[in-house]
Amino acid sequence: MSADQGGGSKPFDPFEPFRGMRDAYLDAMAKAMVEAVNTEGYAQATGAMLDSSLSVSAPMREAMEKSMLQVLQRLSLPSAQDFATLADRFTNLEMRIDDMDAKLDRIEKQTHAAPSTANDQPVTPPAQDIKAEAERPVIANAASAPKPSIKKASPRKRTSGKGAR
Amino acid sequence: MTTTPVMTDEFALLEQRLRTVNKVMTTKAAIAQTPKELVWALNKAKLYRYIPVVPAEQRHRVPLLLVFALMNKPYILDLRPGHSFVEFMVNQGYDVFLLDWGVPGPEDKNLKFDDYTMEYMPRAIRKLKAITGTEEFSLLGWCIGAILTTIYAAVLPDDGLRNLLLLTAPLDFSDKQKLTFARWTDEKYFDVEKVLATFGNMPGEMIDYGAKALKPVENYIVNYLKLWDNLDNPQVVEAWHSMNTWVTDNIPLAGGAFRQLIVNLYRDDQLMKGELLIRGQRVDLSRLRANLLTVIATGDHITPPCQSEAILTKVGSGDKELFRVPGGHIGIMAGSGAHKLTWPHIDGWLGKRSN
């Protein structure tokens, strides 16, 4: 590894042969260990160790949890379980808000897309409907009488009502 | 009389080396530097969008969503400037998003694959679509993230997924002889319920031990010797520092997801058998129709290649490819050779299918 860096001008390193020996030994050791951990014996031994440590710690943990719960109850403080339940409810709320946010996004997108769709394809009834709606403010801005806008708006009612049927 | 100065030099050098060791072992490297913005969050999960550097008209039309494993931080995908997959993809003109699962707390112990794939992912994807204005997207899943993306792609095949990239995906658990994890977590030796009753979530330290114990000499000895031997090489030290920052940043795995991983997958191989139920719905891999690229690390000891090969015969995708890369589980994406081999191949494959 280090031999690669120095190039030709690297000074004599008396430890280099030892490094070679070390690496060879570690290579052999690594292969042996990979085989060792891949045996049923290793799985059994680690499983037994884990199992016994969990068994030993379980009564202590349970007693600790019980006493902690009692203390918290006496002090009128919420327990970890209470916080977990709250967190669950918060997540559910977040999901609902997220769904509402998505719905709003969709509605906003549809309302923004509506005028441009109408301009692009004025032939289909829904587009006419949107176009009529889009034209309304222009007439109002021109300070003309409100009558034409009502007239223009009337086909919208017809198309949407009858078209739906 | 030259002995004293030489000795002083040697001591100064040794002191310098020890300082470097102390620094890299006790501090965190500057990682995840690619500029990004938070665009969505739910519980602990966050969706980030990386700030594009390529003009919109030159960018690929289909955005890319990265989904990493549940038990490690996802910034391995954006390790450090110049050595970041995210940075590479952003520079190649992709609109890159990252789904960070966050760190599950005790209150998240019941989270399952069902929640991640049917609640979190669809919502994050919905946001991605709203932001980009496209109905199509690509998914890249790595390790457990590949399990999640595969489930998602099979259960919701009509959600707009165009391209699916699976990196070192542990999907096939049939060959128990080759799976050391399967042997360790066999029901004869490992009581998953007892572990979860004690801890709620699977502790990050235990997961880390499990991953390192697969190659104990490499992980506990050779890794540190490699650093010691290269202390005079700043590039190696910097790479080692950032990788060590990531490796030691362990997070727990939600209890429900861990139970499914061990019982439903490692023991019963339900995904490949077509028996895995997600929200009561059977995960049928033949429904997965997205273009598929599976990247396999030939020297992977965590997810041996046999775990990622069979997926190609099960999916309904017409366009599918298997790409083998020499290297390990993490090395193929974050190693020094990743930018020469894995990243360009992913870019080449995805680029053709993202416009």
B23 part of a folded domain = no
- Give residue limits of the domains in chain A: 15-74, 80-164
pLDDT averaged over chain A? Answer: 72
Report the percent of chain A where pLDDT is more than 90.
Answer: 44
Residue B329 appears among annotated catalytic residues: yes
Whether A51 and B194 lie within 8 Å, measured CB to CB = yes
In a domain? residue B6: no
Using the predicted structure, report yes or no on whether residue A147 has a pLDDT greater than 90: no
Enumerate the residues of chain B whose CB falls inside 8 A of the CB of residue A91. 42-43
* pLDDT over 80 at A131, yes or no: no
Q: Which of residues B2 and B176 earns the better pLDDT score?
A: B176
A89 chain-B contacts, CB cut-off 8 A: none
Using a 10 angstrom Cβ sphere, with 0-12 exposed, 13-18 middle and 19 or more buried, the burial of residue A76 is exposed
Measured CA to CA, the distance from residue B196 to residue B259 in angstroms comes to 8
CATH number at residue B131: 3.40.50.1820
Given a cut of 80, whether residue B200 has pLDDT beyond it is yes
User: Average pLDDT for residues A113-133, to the nearest whole number?
Assistant: 51
pLDDT tens figures, B295-348:
999 999 999 999 999 999 999 999 999 999 999 999 999 988 899 999 999 999
B268 counts as catalytic: no
Q: Could A91 and B43 be called an inter-chain contact, meaning their C-beta atoms sit closer than 8 Å?
A: yes
Q: Residue A119: pLDDT band by 50, 70, 90 thresholds? A: low
CA-closest candidate to residue B147, choices B40, B61, B276: B276
pLDDT at A19: 85
pLDDT digits (tens, 9 = 90+) for B203-233: 999 999 999 999 999 999 999 999 999 998 9
The CA distances from residue A16 to A1, A22, A89, B15, B165, in Å, are: 11, 10, 63, 21, 44
pLDDT band at A143 (very low <50, low <70, confident <90, very high): very low
B318: in domain? yes
**B300 a catalytic residue:** yes
Reply yes or no on whether the pLDDT at A52 is more than 80: yes
pLDDT at A112: 83
Domain housing B342: 34-352
pLDDT in tens, B104-152: 999 999 999 999 999 999 999 999 999 999 999 999 999 999 999 999 9
How many separate helices (H) and strands (E) can be counted in chain A? 6, 0
Classify residue B198: in a domain, yes or no.
Answer: yes
pLDDT at A9: 58
- Mean of pLDDT values over B262-275: 96
How far is the alpha carbon of A70 from chain B, nearest alpha carbon, in Å? 20
Higher pLDDT pick, A130 / B119: B119
Asked whether residue B27 is assigned to any structural domain, the reply reads no
In a domain, B21, yes or no: no
- Percentage above 90 pLDDT, chain B: 87
In Å, what is the CA distance from A25 to each residue of A13, A87, B69? 20, 53, 34
* Domains: count for chain B: 1
Average pLDDT value for residue range A101-122: 75
What is the rounded average pLDDT for all residues in chain B?
93
Count of CB pairs separated by less than 8 Å, A with B = 89
